[in-house]
């Protein structure tokens, strides 16, 4: 940058910073004031402008830019905060230089713009790149977390496991269902797995095909799959599609499916009060015999 322009910017840095922060306060951050304190907004703005001026003084610090972009992402502020903020800063700096040098020549104006652009643009580009990278990393982590939550496998009793499904099932999710189901059955040594489709809004040919494949895979590794949560409209759809579900049991509710699972694992539901009454009767009868 032209040394004269650089000196002007440094000499008037306090004024530039004040104008820039006032502009951000008025136009860019109104929507955040209800959720973020004014102190935090001012702190972040101050950190932002210090990063820009540090490039003018000492050269760009890419690590600092990366850390600042990550902070903006974590605050949930949009990319526009960086892009519009840099545009506002550029305009204020150009105007400041023009006001301090009395030169109306077009070539001078273009030279000032080029110098300021060469200073600001690399910082803006780096901030945008780092913001995008941080945002993509967060999206990837959230996607993994959602995938894990979307196909949970819950052991409810020794030998019995439940997989409740909620929402639309597409090809990618169906693949994840298959993988989690098989891994979970082996790890928990489940004899019976209940796939609950109560929360699946639509069961079409593809969804039914994936469920049948999953049930068949469970059967091949020595366990039994029970499909539960079959509402009347889903039952009608399955019949109309001609899908064969005869290879594994189906129940209308999780409660009935669990009762079936208990039966298949040689368990019974016992009324404790009735059992206690029978024990007391047996004791009384034994005393009478004496």
Q: Residue 108 — φ and ψ, nearest 5°? A: -65, -45
168 or 279, greater pLDDT:
168
Q: Is the C-alpha dihedral spanning 205, 181, 190, 262 positive or negative?
A: negative
144 within a domain of the structure (yes/no): yes
CATH for 104: 1.10.490.10
- 208 and 92 fall within a common domain: no
CATH code, 269: 3.30.750.24
Residue 269, pLDDT > 80, answer no
Domain residues for the domain of 22 are 3-148
Decide which of 96, 124, 148 is a domain's last residue: 148
Region 75-90: what's the mean pLDDT? 82
The answer to whether residue 290 is domain-embedded is no
* Shared domain check, 109 and 7: yes
Whether 280 is in a domain gets the answer: no
Domain count, the chain: 2
pLDDT at 61: 65
Question: What mean pLDDT do residues 266-275 have?
Answer: 68
Residue 168: per-residue pLDDT:
78
Task: Tell me the per-residue pLDDT of 181-218, one tens digit each, with 9 for 90 and over.
Answer: 888 888 888 899 998 888 888 777 787 788 888 888 88
pLDDT surpassing 80 at residue 129: yes
125 and 184 fall within a common domain: no
Residue 278 resides in a domain: no
CA pair distance 59, 16, nearest whole angstrom: 19
| Domain finish residue from 148, 168, 201 | 148
283 located within any domain = no
Segment 173-190, tens digit of pLDDT? 778 888 888 888 888 888
Residues 121 and 32 in one domain: yes
Q: How many CB atoms lie within 10 A of CB 129?
A: 14
The 10s digit of each residue's pLDDT in 111-124 is 888 888 888 888 88
260 and 225 Cβ atoms separated by less than 8 Å: no
Shared-domain flag, residues 218 and 238: yes
Phi-psi category of residue 124: left, alpha or beta, with phi > 0 → left and psi -120 to 50 → alpha: alpha
Within a domain: 287: no
Query: Is the domain of 143 the same as that of 160?
Result: no
Sheet order of strands, 154-157 included? 154-157, 160-166, 192-199, 224-228, 250-251
Tokens representing 238 are 């399955």
């Amino acid at each position: 940058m032209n040394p004269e322009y650089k000196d002007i910017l440094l000499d008037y840095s306090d004024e530039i910073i004040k104008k820039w922060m006032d502009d951000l306060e008025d136009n860019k951050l109104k929507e955040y004031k209800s959720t973020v304190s004014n102190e935090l907004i001012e702190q972040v703005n101050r950190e932002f402008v210090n990063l820009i001026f540090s490039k003018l003084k000492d050269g760009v610090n890419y690590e600092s830019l990366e850390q600042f972009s990550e902070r903006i992402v974590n605050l949930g502020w949009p990319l526009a905060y960086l892009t519009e903020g840099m545009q506002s800063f550029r305009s204020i700096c150009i105007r400041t230089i023009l006001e301090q040098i009395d030169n109306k020549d077009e070539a001078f104006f273009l030279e000032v713009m080029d110098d300021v652009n060469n200073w600001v643009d690399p910082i803006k580009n780096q901030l945008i790149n780092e913001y995008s990278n941080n945002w993509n990393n967060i999206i990837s982590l959230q996607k993994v977390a959602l995938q894990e939550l979307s196909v949970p496998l819950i052991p409810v009793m020794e030998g019995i496991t439940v997989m409740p499904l909620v929402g639309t099932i597409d090809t990618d999710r169906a693949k994840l269902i298959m993988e989690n189901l098989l891994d979970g059955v082996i790890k928990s040594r489940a004899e019976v797995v209940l796939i609950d489709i109560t929360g699946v809004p639509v069961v079409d040919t593809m969804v039914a095909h994936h469920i049948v494949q999953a049930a068949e895979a469970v059967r091949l590794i020595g366990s039994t799959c029970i499909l539960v949560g079959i509402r009347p409209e889903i039952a009608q759809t399955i019949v109309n599609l001609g899908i064969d579900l005869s290879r594994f049991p189906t129940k209308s509710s999780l409660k009935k499916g669990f009762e079936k699972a208990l039966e298949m694992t040689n368990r019974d539901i016992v009324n404790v009060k009735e059992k206690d009454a029978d024990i007391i009767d047996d004791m009384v009868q034994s005393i009478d015999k004496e």
